[in-house]
Amino acid sequence: MSIWTRIGWPLVFGLLLLAGWYGAITLFEIPEYQLPPLHRIVQAGYEEREMLMAGSIQTTMACLIGFFTSIAGGVMLSIMLASSERAYRGAYPYILLMKMTPIIVIAPIIIIWAGQGLASITVITFLICFFPIVANTTMGLRSTDSNHLDLFAVYKANRWQQLLWLRAPAAMPYFMTGLKIAAALTPIGALYGDTVAGMGASNEAGLGFVVMIFNSQFKIPALFAAAIVSCAIGFLFVGMVNLVSWLALRRWHESYLIDHHA
Amino acid sequence: MQQVLIQLRGVSKTFDGVNTVLAPTDLSVDRGDFISLIGPSGCGKTTLLKLVAGLIKPTSGTIDIVNADVSSTGRLAYVFQDSTLLPWLTVRDNVGLPLRIAGEDRAIRMAAVDATLALVGLSHAAGQYPRELSGGMKMRVSIARALTLDPQLLLLDEPFGALDEMSRDRLNEELLRLREASRWTAMFVTHSVAEAVFLSSRVVVLAPSPGRIATTIPIPLTYPRTSVTRSSADFAELVLEVTRALHAAQNSSVDAGSGDAR
């Protein structure tokens, strides 16, 4: 792939989109409260920078804590589930049941337990990230090649050696898939958490809460600015995971070997 | 004079209580023997090998590996049908895996691995990943991995089945050359009559439904055997003899009504 197709084309598409945007606004005389032009969004973002910045910090914090605790918890649960057939058969239906329960239903219960504020928002983020990680990692840990397991059995590897040197690396691509899904969901969890458990005090309002404020004040360009900022946070997480995944798998996994075969 | 290494007495295997893949079988393997197991699909060749390796337990009968050394860690090695290399490890780390499982420290491990890689002529590929290797090279790495522990007993399950005939012949010669150095005992599963005759001191012909030993044919060709051996009249005669025995075994299945498995 040349630099042109990698960077040039997306750039051309972006410019076309922008031209269409401004074209439509002037042609159909769309009012600012329906679709503000880009420069108004940038301007509003600058005017509301303090609120947006504080909101971003708050939301990023909820995202980070929720995301990393869900990785830690998800991996531990997956290892337990994959360690024995009984644990898996016994516990997995209930994990599925929990997963099936919409977060909207669980949220009020969480707020009863953890109160309004960051704690509840983090728990909601955690829950949204947790299941894709558990589902994928457990599947990965359970689908180790049977010949590889025989190989480790012949050389009398103990359970830990088998887990660390065989099951875990074999599950890595599945784990990374789970992480990618979770990373994309992380800001959704935190922003949704804001709307149900957020607090309006000056430095405690996350982006989701900021959005609610802008909405109630009818600050439409600022609303668009908030959308762009949350997008950026999402990109941060997805980008981080993509980087880690590339580092972990590039040497051996099929998904990264397309360029090498040429 | 010959010392018995493996003694199977009345060993049988039935899966799920109904599917008998191996009828009660007696077999003894002397130290330094090279035994090939040959027979049509479903005659229990691989099952027999896995029983000796301890990967599966016999339904009845006993398997004695006479020297206690063999049953302890490392003195028994297994080469699988496909190379079963771990794709996330380099050639060097793959070959060193049995030593790592055995808890050898890094310096000893690396010295042994380098020596083994030199022996199979793969020193130049030490830093490569399995995906970068051809099928024949992968198999050589797999054999190198089996040899790092300096085994007394090597179990090989159709290691060259997926290779073209040229590579197979070359690897057969190489296998015998490697054996000159350390004289391990071998049990070798194959579908190829020529391969069985070329390698073995004895060819065990198995019959299907249920799997059992039909006949054992000694191969009195002297070692070392080379490509010249293949063009000798004795070789051709032995190939014919084994082929006949194989056809007879194929037609003698118990289902076809030709009597007792024993």
Backbone angles phi, psi at B25, to 5 degrees: -130, 135
**Chain A: residue whose CA lies nearest to B81:** A147
Q: A79 to chain B, minimum CA–CA distance in Å?
A: 20
Instruction: Check residue B244 and give its pLDDT.
Output: 93
d(CA B187, CA B49): 7
Confidence at B260, pLDDT banded by 50, 70, 90? very low
Same domain, A9 and A133: no
Q: For the packed helices B106-119 and B91-101, what is the interaxial angle rounded to 10 degrees? A: 130
Q: What CATH number should be reported for the domain holding residue A139?
A: 1.10.3720.10
User: Total structural domains in chain A?
Assistant: 2
Put simply, the answer to whether B87 touches A252 (Cβ < 8 Å) is: yes
| Together in a domain, A123 and A4 | no
- The answer to whether B80 and B74 have CB atoms below 8 angstroms apart is no
Mean pLDDT per 10-residue section of chain A, whose length is 262 residues: 81 94 93 92 94 93 96 96 91 89 91 91 94 95 94 92 95 95 94 88 83 92 95 93 92 72 38
For residues A47 and A126, membership in a common domain is answered with: yes
Computed over every residue of chain B, the mean pLDDT equals 87
B82 reaches A (C-beta below 8 A): yes
Using an 8 Å Cβ cutoff, are A189 and A129 in contact?
yes
* Residue span of the structural domain in which A14 resides: 1-30
Tell me if the bond preceding A221 is cis, omega within 30° of 0: no
Find the CB nearest B82 among A147, A153, A165.
A147
- Residue B21 sits at φ, ψ, to 5 deg, of -95, -20
Cα B102 to Cα A144, B126, B184, B200: the distances in Å are: 21, 21, 20, 30
Q: Note whether A246 and A174 are same-domain residues.
A: yes
Give the pLDDT band (50/70/90) at residue B121: confident
Q: Which of B55, B74, B129 sits opposite A252 (nearest CB)?
A: B129
Over pLDDT 70: what percentage of chain A? 97
Residues of A in contact with B88 (CB under 8 A): 169, 172, 251-253
Give the CATH architecture of domain B4-75+151-256. Answer: 3-Layer(aba) Sandwich (3.40)
> Which A residues in the span 89-148 are in contact with B, Cβ-Cβ below 8 Å?
145, 147-148
> Is B97 within 8 Å of B145 (Cβ atoms)?
yes
B228 touches chain A (CB under 8 A): no
**What are the extents of the domains in chain B?**
4-75+151-256, 83-150
- Angstrom CA distances, B189 to A88, A101, A174, stand at 36, 53, 35
CB-CB neighbors (< 8 A) of A151 in chain B: 78, 80, 84
* Same structural domain, A71 and A200: yes
In this structure, are A155 and A119 located in the same domain? yes
Give the mean pLDDT of B186-197.
93
Q: Is A23 found in the same domain as A120? A: no
The predicted model gives B7-29 an average pLDDT of 88
Q: pLDDT band for position B1 (50/70/90)?
A: very low
Q: Is B99 exposed, middle or buried (0-12, 13-18, 19+ CB in 10 A)?
A: buried
Sheet holding B4-15, edge to edge: B19-30, B4-15, B60-65
Verify that A123 and A2 share a domain, yes or no.
Answer: no
Q: Which amino acid is at A37?
A: P
pLDDT at B254: 56
B75 lies within 8 A of chain A by CB: no
Q: pLDDT tens digits for B145-164? A: 998 888 889 999 999 888 88
Q: Any idea what DSSP says for residue A4?
A: I
CA B4 to chain centre: 17
Which residues on B lie below 8 Å from A245 (Cβ)? none
Distance from CA of A202 to the nearest CA of B (A): 50
Q: Are residues A146 and A233 in the same domain?
A: yes
Chain pair A-B, CB pairs under 8 angstroms: 53
**What residue type is B65 in one-letter code?**
I
Instruction: Name the more confident of B62 and B253.
Output: B62
Secondary structure (DSSP) of B120-165: TT-GGGTT--GGGS-HHHHHHHHHHHHHTT--SEEEEESTTTTS-H
Q: CB of B170 within 8 Å of any CB in chain A?
A: no
